[in-house]
Amino acid sequence: MSGWPEQDRGEAFAVATYGLSMRYGSETALAGIHLRVPEGAVYILIGPNGAGKSTAMKVLLNLERPHAGRAEVFGLDTASRGPEVRAQVGYVPEQHAHDYAWMMCGRLIEHVAAHYPAWDHAYAAHLIEVFGVRPHRKVGTLSKGESRRLQFVLALAHRPPLLLLDEPTDGLDPVVRNRTLAQLAEHLADTPATVVIATHHIREVESLADHVGVLREGRLVAQMTRDELRRTVVRYRVEVPEGWQPPPDLRIASLRRSRAGREVQWTLIGEPDEVTAHLAGAGATVRDVTPLALEEAALAFLAEEVSA
Amino acid sequence: MLVNLDPNDGRPLYLQIMDEVRRAIVVGTLRAEDPLPSVRELAAELVVNARTVSQAYQELEREGIVYVRRGQGTFVSPAVRRGGGERRRSLAREVAKRALLEARRNGLDAEELVMAIQKLAAEEERAEARLARAAGKGDDE
C-alpha cells in the first residue's frame, strides 16, 4: 500500500516526515506519519476537521514540537533549523487573526518584508493591488476575507520555494476565491514552488493538485499521486448471483446493492485488474469500471472500514 | 478559444485540455496559425498547475496539431487545414468513447448503441428534410 515509506528512490522531497507523532494532552493529533511531498508537487492534504492537518503544518514550521519522529523541509531538520526553514516557506495559517492587530496593513507588510532577504518589493506591490489589500486599514479591523488576502500577499511576496496553505479558501466569497486561486495558479506558473494545501474543500483546489494525502484521526491512510489515485480507486458495477457474499479481502469504500440483490455497485481500492480478477474468481461479473472525480476517490479512504 | 474542464470527468486534466483544443479546431474557433493562450494565462484561467497545461501543449505538439515559435508561444499548425479528416476522426473517437461508456453503464452493448444512433440520425434527417421542403429553398447558412 502507499502511504508507507517504501524506498525513497532517490527522489528529492520538499517535505518529508519520519514517524511524526504529536499529542495534545491525551489527544493524539498525529500518529507516526510519513509525509513525502516531492519537490515541485502540489500536494493536497485532506481529512475531516481535527484529523491533524494543521498540526502537521505547524510542526513543519517548528511552531509545534513533535512528541516523536521528526520532519525535514528541503532536507533541513525543522526542529533544529527552524529559522532557515521558515525563510523558505510561505504560510497561510488557518486562523485569520494576525499578531499585530494594531498595525496598519502597509506597515505590517514592511515589517514582514524585513524578515525575508528574498522579499520582492515590486511583486509585493503587484500582489497588494491584485488582492485589493488597503495599506491604511488597521489589521485588527479586517474582515475574514480581507485578512486572508493579506496573508496571501505575505506568503507569496518573497517567492518561497515552499508554500503551506492551511484552508486557503476559508472566509473568501466565491468571486474572490476564484480570483485568489487564479492568482495562485499564475504565481506557480511564474515561480516554481512546492505547495501543500490542507483543506476539506477539495473541489475548490483539486484542479491544481498532483499529489494527494489523506489524514484520518492522525494517521496518514493514503498518500499517492493523482494518477495513482485515479487508477486505484474506481467504481465497479458488478452482477452477482442471488445470495452472493463478497470475498472477505476486498477493500470496500462504499457499497450500494440493488433491491433484487443481483447488482452491486462498489467503490473499491486496488489495482483494477487484480480487483476484477478477484471478483471474477468469486463468481461475480464486473459490468463496468468507472473512474471517479478526485474528491470522491479521496473520500473513499475516509469511508473505508477501519478493519481493512 | 474557451476551454472548459469538467471536475466530474474522470479523465486526466491534460487530456481534457487537449480535447478542448481539438474541438475548437474542428468547430473552427481555432484556425491555422492562431495563437493558443500562454501556459501561464490558461493555468490561471482554469486554476490548474502550469505543468498540466504544458503537458497538454506538448502532447498536441507531438501530434502535429500545434507548434512552438521560440519566445512567441504556441500556435495552431498550418497543416490543420489539410489534416482535417484525421482530426475529426480522433475527435469522433473520443466522443464515441464517452457514449460507449455511458451505454455500458446502462447495460447496452456497442451494437445496440450504434443502431440507436443510426436510427436517430435518420429520423432527424427526415425531419430536417420535411422542414426544408416546407420552407421552400432556404438560404445557405
pLDDT at position A99 over 50 = yes
Closest CA of chain A from B79, distance in Å:
30
Say if the Cβ atoms of A185 and B39 lie within 8 Å: no
pTM: 0.84
Let me know the angle formed at the C-alpha of A112 by A108 and A116, rounded to the nearest 5 degrees. Answer: 160
Does residue B46 belong to the interface with chain A, where contact is any CB pair within 8 Å?
A: yes
pLDDT at position B81 over 70 = no
Does residue B106 belong to the interface with chain A, where contact is any CB pair within 8 Å?
A: no
User: Which of A186, A226, A288 is facing B44, going by the closest CB pair?
Assistant: A186
pLDDT at residue number B83:
53
Say if the Cβ atoms of A182 and B8 lie within 8 Å: no
Residue of A nearest to B41 (CA): A186
Q: Terminus-to-terminus CA distance in chain A, angstroms?
A: 12
Give me the percent of chain B exceeding a pLDDT of 70.
Answer: 94
Say if the Cβ atoms of B49 and A210 lie within 8 Å: yes
Q: Where are the alpha helices (DSSP H) in B5-83?
A: 13-27, 39-46, 50-62
pLDDT at position A134 over 90 = yes
The string of pLDDT tens digits covering residues A208-242 is: 999 999 999 999 999 999 999 999 999 888 888 88
The string of pLDDT tens digits covering residues A25-76 is: 888 899 999 999 999 999 999 998 888 999 999 999 999 999 999 999 999 9
| Residue among A295, A277, A270 nearest A206 (CA) | A295
pLDDT band at A3 (very low <50, low <70, confident <90, very high): very low
Say if the Cβ atoms of A210 and B51 lie within 8 Å: yes
pLDDT band at A6 (very low <50, low <70, confident <90, very high): very low
ipTM over 0.85: no
What would the grid cell of residue A299 be? 473520500
| B57, B74 contact by CB (below 8 A) | yes
pLDDT at residue number A260:
64
Say if the Cβ atoms of A207 and B5 lie within 8 Å: yes
pLDDT at position A304 over 70 = no
What would the grid cell of residue A145 be? 476575507
User: Which of B10, B13, B39 is facing A291, going by the closest CB pair?
Assistant: B10
Sign of CA dihedral A295, A296, A298, A301: positive
Listed range (A35-49, A199-213, B69-83) with the worst mean pLDDT: B69-83
Say if the Cβ atoms of B105 and A288 lie within 8 Å: yes
Residues of A contacting chain B (CB within 8 angstroms):
40, 42, 178, 181-186, 188-190, 203, 205-210, 226-227, 230, 237, 287-288, 290-295
- For residue A227, give the 3-state DSSP assignment: helix
